[in-house]
Amino acid sequence: MDLNLSEEHVMIREAARDFARREIIPVAEQYDRSGEFPMEIIQKMGEMGFMGIEVPEEYGGAGMDTIAYVLAMEEIAKADVATSTVMSVNNSLYCHGILHFGTEEQKRTWVTPVASGAEIGAYALTEPMSGSDAGTMRTRAELSADGSHYVINGRKSWITSGPVAHRLVLFAKTDPEAVPKHRGITAFLIDTSRPGFVRGKIEPKLGIRASATCEILFENYRCPVENVLGEPGQGFKIAMTVLDAGRIGIAAQALGVAEAAYEASVQYARERVAFGQPIGTFQMIQQKIADMKTRIEASRLLTYQAALAKMASRETGERYTTAAAMAKLFASETAMFVTHQAVQIHGGMGYSKELPIERYFRDAKITEIYEGTSEIQRIVIARNELGLR
Ligand code: CAA
């Protein structure tokens, strides 16, 4: 595939690579160990324009395209998946939906502070009993008698950046009787400093430990009607449209961590000597290297193809759902495969916290789960191919 990278693309990739080397790699292990949110790094990433790469400059972003986003995401994730998760949620899950469905006023007020990195955004869809089957959510938003605001009650879970978010896009049921059920869901713009917004328990996680995740409770939270995003009842479509964009970012993230694990493995296979020769001369190691490299390159092509499809959709209006799902599915399973092989190639050192290999392995796993599990991606791809609903 001829990506024909522009000077601007090469520039952002170099800027992200350089930033990752200077600011992230030296401290990634420390943040993973402590589980502390890397606020200082995120603020600097905001200054670099990484928190709203595709957001037009008039709304505080860098005004670049999806290829630029993917290139930058890959470099940041290569250094640390946790940091790239915060970047991904800000860019896609938060900003994309408001840019796509928001009014001019909403874009100015709600996108600008988050795209510029001054504030942090989040996306609240999942609930304790509603994960893959997102349409079954129970969080309820009821219109007040005078029609001026919605009163929101309920519990959201697994909210990435929830503990630190200033603003979020929330999905709640406004019509529990709607048939089909997803048509009773509405999207809201939530200011987390208002009364009734309560942060719940923090999730202790296997990987991406520095990306903060928590439950969010809504206790009679009053959301002004002007903060409805899109039309009432359009929430599920907004959620799905946003996830199409988000899944491309996760594919790029998976690609980044796979590359990090692969490069470390090649170096180790060249240097580590066993039975009198570098282990890279053994065919069993060579097979692993060949499979890792091939899957990484295939992931890259699918990810870039999905990015191009998203860019084309601006002109054609066509959905890029399948391209995004295939990229996310293949790249995340590749990340898991590659990091697993990397631990094996490194042997005991791959299992030790002295090297980042075990962190790559733990971090890679989430890419097969969030923003739609691998099983959901397969359903999405197959249903679209078969013309089923
Ligand atoms: N774009 C726009 N609209 C879409 C769409 C898309 N990609 N996919 C579906 N829709 C629309 C359909 O056209 C349909 O619209 P109508 O009102 O016209 O009928 C409607 O949505 C319902 O579609 P389905 O009947 O296909 O819906 P479903 O209930 O069968 O669910 C699903 C489909 C693909 C399984 C979906 O529920 C799904 O993607 N689930 C996974 C949810 C997910 O990814 N969760 C991750 C949470 S976010 C996260 O991880 C948090 C984080 O912080 C990182």
CATH of the domain at 353: 1.20.140.10
Q: What is the spatial distance between Cα 179 and Cα 18, in angstroms, rounded to a whole number? A: 51
The residue whose CA is least distant from atom 43 of ligand 1 is 372
What's the confidence (pLDDT) of residue 2? 61
Question: Does the residue 89 lie in any domain?
Answer: yes
Q: Do both 41 and 109 map to the same domain?
A: yes
DSSP letter assigned to residue 350: H
| Residue 155 φ/ψ, nearest 5 degrees | -135, 125
Residue where the block lists tokens 């009650």 = 153
The whole-chain average pLDDT of the chain stands at 97
Q: What is the spatial distance between Cα 326 and Cα 51, in angstroms, rounded to a whole number? A: 25
| 287-338 tens-digit pLDDT | 999 999 999 999 999 999 999 999 999 999 999 999 999 999 999 999 999 9
Would you say residue 3 has pLDDT above 80? Answer: no
Question: Does the residue 1 lie in any domain?
Answer: no
Q: Which domain holds residue 202?
A: 122-233
| 87-140 tens-digit pLDDT | 999 999 999 999 999 999 999 999 999 999 999 999 999 999 999 999 999 999
Q: Tell me the best of 100, 129, 182 to mutate to test the pocket of ligand 1, counting ligand atoms within 8 Å of each CB and taking the most.
A: 182
What's the confidence (pLDDT) of residue 4? 81
The DSSP annotation for 228-283 comes to EESSTT-HHHHHHHHHHHHHHHHHHHHHHHHHHHHHHHHHHHHH-EETTEEGGGSH
| 233-275 tens-digit pLDDT | 999 999 999 999 999 999 999 999 999 999 999 999 999 999 9
Q: Do both 315 and 245 map to the same domain?
A: yes
| 185-229 tens-digit pLDDT | 999 999 999 999 999 999 999 999 999 999 999 999 999 999 999
Q: Tell me the best of 167, 170, 240 to mutate to test the pocket of ligand 1, counting ligand atoms within 8 Å of each CB and taking the most.
A: 240
Question: Does the residue 100 lie in any domain?
Answer: yes
Q: What is the spatial distance between Cα 262 and Cα 283, in angstroms, rounded to a whole number? A: 17
Q: Do both 241 and 378 map to the same domain?
A: yes
**Is 271 known to be catalytic?**
no
The residue whose CA is least distant from atom 40 of ligand 1 is 132
| 227-242 tens-digit pLDDT | 999 999 999 999 999 9
What's the confidence (pLDDT) of residue 38? 97
Q: Do both 33 and 22 map to the same domain?
A: yes
Can you give the CATH number for the domain in which 134 is found? 2.40.110.10
Final residue in a domain of this structure, among 190, 209, 233: 233
Work out how many domains the chain is built from and give that number: 3
What's the confidence (pLDDT) of residue 1? 60
Q: Do both 178 and 240 map to the same domain?
A: no
* CA 282 to ligand 1 centroid distance, Å: 46
| 34-71 tens-digit pLDDT | 999 999 999 999 999 999 999 999 999 999 999 999 99
Question: Does the residue 2 lie in any domain?
Answer: no
Q: Do both 266 and 296 map to the same domain?
A: yes
Can you give the CATH number for the domain in which 99 is found? 1.10.540.10
